[in-house]
């Protein structure tokens, strides 16, 4: 029994020594960036090195890449080392790993890595200054990917990256492997097209409860209609009333849609929990996913109600205009008759006036003639 125990202790010591040797070798490789490439490219652990543009580097490409890493180290570049580790059962569930045939979809993992690295470089402003290489390792219970990044001409001296950057890297990997784009589209269609989109066809004044809330809110809104936005600070005190209108609307017209939306959101949160884990940092990637989507629904519905109020207010303040009604057929006939008679009288008066004018002119001519005759006679008498 004692001998077995001693042998067991010896084995533990041997294992510890072996681990120490591994750590020492790794430290040496980390001290020399090009040696870290050898560590990643160990044929016992990986099939090949890959980069942003190549799935499998040739011997010459590896040599050139090592020279780039050496050059970066001489220039004082930081070497960023990332490890993307997977739960093998999760990979199997999503069709990446087949335990029976012992095959893995390396192309899918490489593409996911590229998306993650592209996101990291953009967020850290190293898109045009950094170069990276990576390798998928199969030598442990969990398949994982090692990634090394350097800047041949350094733009920064610190190696620390923003926590949001690391979170988004994880998100890119998970979303690429899970490919939930179709489910996200269904969620957005339910929210935006079905529930919010159909609001424009339903008047808030057609329901007794929403009408009362509608008019109450309208009285409290500021005169400046540019502030009639759900997220505007000046109307924050009205949000509970606006949300109540949304609740009534959902319950009356979209109860089943809202139920389906919640079920889909719960399913997505469960999927994310499986993908990211339940650690404190990991939870941040999905714990508010459902809440954010529901909040978005209420913001959109709230703005739909406020838009309706704006249109209602504009119509109620339109200036009064006198609209001349079109005359009826009978009225048109009477009007024509009156016009005809008026025209007849008008022509008669014109005719009479012309006759009078003619008579007047004749009278004046006659008077002028008689006066002329009288003057001639007077002149004859004077001559005699």
| Residue (of 201, 23, 39, 263) closest to 134 by Cα position | 39
> In 3-state terms, what secondary structure has residue 104?
strand
CA 68 to centroid of chain Cα atoms: 40
Q: Which of 45, 49, 50 is nearest to 138 (CA)?
A: 45
Residue 252: other Cβ atoms inside 10 A: 12
Rounded average pLDDT over 142-157 = 93
Per-residue pLDDT for 40 more than 50?
Answer: yes
- Say if CB 142 and CB 86 are below 8 A apart: yes
Mean pLDDT throughout 130-138? 94
Q: What is the per-residue pLDDT for 344?
A: 63
Angle at the Cα of 177 (from 175 to 179), degrees rounded to 5? 55
Residues 6 or more apart in contact with residue 360 via CB below 8 angstroms: none
Task: Quote the pLDDT of residue 384.
Answer: 46
* CA 341 vs CA 33, 329, 338: distances in Å: 112, 19, 5
Axis crossing angle, helix 208-220 with helix 239-253, rounded to the nearest 10: 160
* Residue count (the chain): 384
Angle (CA) 53 54 55, round 5°:
130
**pLDDT at site 203:** 94
For residue 169, pLDDT over 50 is answered with: yes
pLDDT exceeds cutoff 70 at 325 = no
Residue 382: which pLDDT band, with cuts at 50, 70 and 90? very low
User: Residues 90, 174: contact at Cβ < 8 Å?
Assistant: no
What is the pLDDT averaged over residues 213-238?
95
SS3 per-residue string spanning 34-67: HHHHHHHCCCCCCCCEECCCCCCCCHHHHHHHHH
Listing DSSP states for 251-296 in one string gives HHH-HHHHHHHHHHHHHHHHHHHHHH-SSHHHHTTTTTHHHHHHHH
Most confident listed range (85-89, 278-282, 373-377): 85-89
Q: What is the dihedral of CA 199, 205, 208, 214, to 10 degrees?
A: 90
pTM of the model: 0.63
Name which of 236, 226, 205 is nearest 299 in CA terms. 236
pLDDT in tens, 258-306: 999 999 999 999 988 888 888 777 788 788 999 999 999 999 999 999 9
Q: Evaluate if residue 240 carries a pLDDT over 90.
A: yes
In this prediction, residue 366 has a pLDDT band, given cuts at 50, 70 and 90, of: low
Q: Distance of CA 311 to CAs 192, 304, 305, Å? A: 21, 11, 10
- Exposure on the CB side of residue 364, measured as CA atoms within 13 A: 6
Any residues with CB less than 8 A from the CB of 66 and at least 6 apart, and which? 34, 37
Domain boundaries, the chain: 32-178, 181-316
User: In the structure, what pLDDT confidence band is assigned to residue 322 with cuts at 50, 70 and 90?
Assistant: very low
Angle between helices 2-31 and 33-40 (to 10 degrees): 130
Per-residue confidence at 162, pLDDT binned at 50, 70, 90? very high
Distance CA 272, CA 276 (A): 6
CA angle at residue 87 from 83 to 93, to 5 degrees?
130
Identity of the highest mean pLDDT range in 26-35, 292-301, 339-348: 292-301
Label residue 359 by pLDDT band (50, 70, 90). Answer: low
Q: What is the pLDDT of residues 266-277, one digit of tens each?
A: 999 998 888 888
Q: Quote the tokens at residue 98.
A: 């087949």
**pLDDT computed for residue 380 by the predictor:** 47
The whole-number pLDDT of residue 275 equals 85
Q: Is the pLDDT higher at 287 or at 379?
A: 287
Judged by DSSP in three states, 324 sits in coil
Indicate the pLDDT class of residue 320, thresholds 50, 70 and 90. very low
Instruction: Determine the average pLDDT of the residues in 135-156.
Output: 92
**Above 60 in pLDDT, residue 130?**
yes
CATH 2.30.30 fits 32-178, yes or no: no
Q: What is the mean pLDDT of the chain?
A: 82
Q: Is the pLDDT of residue 207 over 50?
A: yes
Give the span between the Cα atoms of 104 and 143, in whole angstroms: 10
Biggest alpha carbon distance in the chain?
A: 194
Task: Tell me 195's DSSP state.
Answer: I
- Report pLDDT for 282: 77
Tell me, what's the pLDDT at 364? 56
Q: Which pLDDT band holds residue 236 (cuts at 50, 70, 90)?
A: very high
Q: What token pair was written down for 89?
A: 């059962």
pLDDT score recorded for residue 343: 62
Residue with tokens 């001519």: 365
Residues forming beta bridges with residue 224, ordered by sequence position: none
Backbone angles phi, psi at 160, to 5 degrees: -70, 135
Average pLDDT over residues 116-127: 95
């Amino acid at each position: 029994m004692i001998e077995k125990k001693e042998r067991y202790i010896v084995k533990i010591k041997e294992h510890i020594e072996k681990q120490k040797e591994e750590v020492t070798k790794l430290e040496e490789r980390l001290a020399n960036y090009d040696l870290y490439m050898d560590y990643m490219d160990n044929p016992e652990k990986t099939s090949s090195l890959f980069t942003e543009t190549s799935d499998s580097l040739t011997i010459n490409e590896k040599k050139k890449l090592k020279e780039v890493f050496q050059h970066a180290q001489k220039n004082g570049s930081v070497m960023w080392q990332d490890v993307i580790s997977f739960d093998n059962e999760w990979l199997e569930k999503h069709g990446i790993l087949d335990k029976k045939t012992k095959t893995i979809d390396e192309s899918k993992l490489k593409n996911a890595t590229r998306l993650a690295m592209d996101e990291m470089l953009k967020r850290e402003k190293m898109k045009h200054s950094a170069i990276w290489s990576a390798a998928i390792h199969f030598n442990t219970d969990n398949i994982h990917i090692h990634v090394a990044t350097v800047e041949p001409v350094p733009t920064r001296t610190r190696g620390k990256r923003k926590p949001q950057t690391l979170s988004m890297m994880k998100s890119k990997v998970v979303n690429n492997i899970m490919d939930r784009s179709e489910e996200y589209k269904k969620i957005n269609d339910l929210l935006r097209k079905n529930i919010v989109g159909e609001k424009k066809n339903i008047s808030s004044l057609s329901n007794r409860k929403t009408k009362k809330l509608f008019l109450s809110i309208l009285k409290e809104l500021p005169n400046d209609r540019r502030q009639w936005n759900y997220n505007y600070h000046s109307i924050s005190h009205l949000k509970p009333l606006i949300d109540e209108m949304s609740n009534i609307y959902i319950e009356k017209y979209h109860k089943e849609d809202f139920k389906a939306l919640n079920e889909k959101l719960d399913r997505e949160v469960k999927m994310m929990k499986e993908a990211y884990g339940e650690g404190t940092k990991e939870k941040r990637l999905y714990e508010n996913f459902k809440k954010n989507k529901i909040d978005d629904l209420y913001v959109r519905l709230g703005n739909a109600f406020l838009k309706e109020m704006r249109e209602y207010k504009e119509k109620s303040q339109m200036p009064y205009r006198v609209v001349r009604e079109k005359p009826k057929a009978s009225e048109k006939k009477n009007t024509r008759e009156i016009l005809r008679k008026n025209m007849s009288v008008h022509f008669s008066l014109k005719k009479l006036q012309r006759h009078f004018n003619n008579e007047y002119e004749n009278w004046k001519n006659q008077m002028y003639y008689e006066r002329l005759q009288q003057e001639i006679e007077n002149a004859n008498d004077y001559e005699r």
